């Protein structure tokens, strides 16, 4: 966040020693003075913050409440029973392990494929580049939700339904457009001169990619991997449609099943399960925003 923002809004009254008459009239004729405006914007922000806090607060407080309801409130008795109740292998650990397999697999496949694809796009000027990148951008925009019904029938035909591997490859394919775009941008910032030296020494493109380019763009690779991982971790609809056996389903789907079965009675456990499932995503987001220097990096990457 730009800390430089603070002095910017009111440079006239503070910095410029303007005559007192001008100082008093100019702002007050048009709008409330800068100080009043500042107080007002802080108050508005606090109110907005409360609106955002209330739904989030329910998850945290209900997970610690022995007799949780749907309304947010301080627990009469704090307890960790909700957590111990859901922390069983079949309830939480297996679905979380499935989610990890699915997300890590998706991340690895996506990063490998997008690094390989980004290299020629970044290093060679080819007539093919422009149409391909536009096609990739187009793919980034396509609503994946709209595709799920045809994907289901395609998976029936390919005999991939209820297959973790098939689902992983599908999720990798859907995250590829964005990943190729990001990886190419990261790769473009690695100077080409180092590789040219290696090329004249007879190294192949794949060798220079592995020994020179990849080590230099390690943070970029990590950002892409985590970005894809978080998306896959949070994805509900795709595994919901493509994975049928409960033993194979990731946490997103099994938590929905839990909601359907016990959601109307065990709110505390639902909230506790939600916390366990959400924490890795939140933690990884904090990590990725550190890696890419600020929380706006993801939005910037999305902007292209």
Partner 1 sequence: MTATLAPAPVGGPGAGPSPVRRAHARRTAGRLVPMLPAVALLALFMLGPVVWSFYGSFTNAALTGPNALAPEWVGLDNYVALLGDPDFPKALWLTVLFVIASAVIGQNVAGLGLAMLMRSALKPVRAVVSTLVVTAWVLPEIVAAFAAYAFFHADGTLNSLLAGVGIAGPDWLFEHPMLAVILANVWRGTAFSMMVYSAAIAEVPPEITEAATVDGANAAQRLVWVTLPTIRRSISTNLMLTTLQTLSVFTLIYVMTGGGPGTDSSTLPILAYQEAFKFAQVGYGTAIATVMLVIGAVFSVVYIRSLKPEVD
Nearer to partner 1, 62 or 164 (CB): 62
**Minimum separation from the CB atom of position 231 to partner 1 (A):** 10
**Minimum separation from the CB atom of position 21 to partner 1 (A):** 14
Please tell me the distance from the alpha carbon of residue 255 to that of residue 244, in angstroms, as a whole number.
14
**Minimum separation from the CB atom of position 188 to partner 1 (A):** 9
**Minimum separation from the CB atom of position 205 to partner 1 (A):** 5
**Minimum separation from the CB atom of position 44 to partner 1 (A):** 6
Q: Are residues 211 and 225 in contact, defined by beta-carbon separation less than 8 angstroms?
A: no
What are the distances in angstroms from CA 237 to CA 89, 114, 231, 244? 23, 24, 12, 12
Q: Are residues 291 and 223 in contact, defined by beta-carbon separation less than 8 angstroms?
A: yes
Nearer to partner 1, 104 or 278 (CB): 278
Nearer to partner 1, 2 or 77 (CB): 2
Nearer to partner 1, 79 or 110 (CB): 110
CB-side neighbour CA atoms (13 Å) of 12: 12
Nearer to partner 1, 49 or 89 (CB): 49
Please tell me the distance from the alpha carbon of residue 231 to that of residue 224, in angstroms, as a whole number.
11
**Minimum separation from the CB atom of position 88 to partner 1 (A):** 20
What does the DSSP assignment read for 226-294? HHHHHHHHH--HHHHHH--SGGG--HHHHHHHHHHHHTTT-HHHHHHHHHHHHHHHHHHHHHHHHHTTS
Nearer to partner 1, 1 or 21 (CB): 1
Between CA 239 and CA 250, with CA 244 as vertex, the angle to 5 degrees is 45
């Amino acid at each position: 966040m730009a800390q430089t923002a603070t002095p910017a809004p009111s440079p006239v009254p503070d910095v410029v020693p303007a005559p007192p008459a001008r100082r008093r009239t100019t702002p007050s004729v048009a709008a409330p003075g800068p100080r009043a405006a500042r107080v007002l914007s802080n108050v508005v922000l606090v109110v907005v913050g409360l609106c955002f806090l209330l739904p989030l607060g329910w998850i945290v407080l209900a997970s610690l409440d022995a007799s949780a309801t749907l309304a947010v409130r301080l627990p009469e008795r704090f307890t960790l029973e909700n957590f111990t109740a859901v922390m069983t292998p079949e309830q939480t650990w297996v679905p979380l392990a499935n989610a990890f397999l699915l997300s890590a697999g998706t991340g690895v496949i996506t990063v490998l494929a997008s690094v390989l694809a980004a290299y020629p796009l970044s290093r060679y000027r080819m007539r093919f580049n422009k149409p391909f990148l536009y096609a990739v951008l187009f793919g980034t925009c396509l609503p994946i939700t709209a595709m799920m019904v045809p994907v289901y029938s395609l998976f029936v035909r390919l005999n991939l339904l209820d297959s973790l591997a098939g689902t992983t490859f599908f999720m990798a394919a859907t995250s590829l457009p964005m990943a190729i775009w990001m990886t190419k941008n990261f790769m473009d910032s690695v100077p080409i001169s180092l590789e040219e030296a290696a090329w004249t020494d007879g190294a192949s493109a794949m060798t220079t990619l592995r020994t020179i380019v990849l080590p230099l763009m390690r943070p970029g690779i990590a950002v892409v991997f985590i970005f894809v991982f978080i998306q896959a971790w949070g994805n509900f609809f795709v595994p919901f449609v493509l994975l049928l056996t409960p033993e194979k389903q990731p946490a997103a789907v099994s938590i929905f099943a839990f909601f359907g079965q016990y959601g109307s009675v065990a709110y505390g456990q639902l909230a506790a399960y939600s916390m366990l499932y959400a924490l890795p995503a939140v933690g990884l987001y904090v990590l990725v925003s550190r890696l890419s220097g600020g929380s706006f990096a993801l939005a910037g990457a999305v902007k292209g």
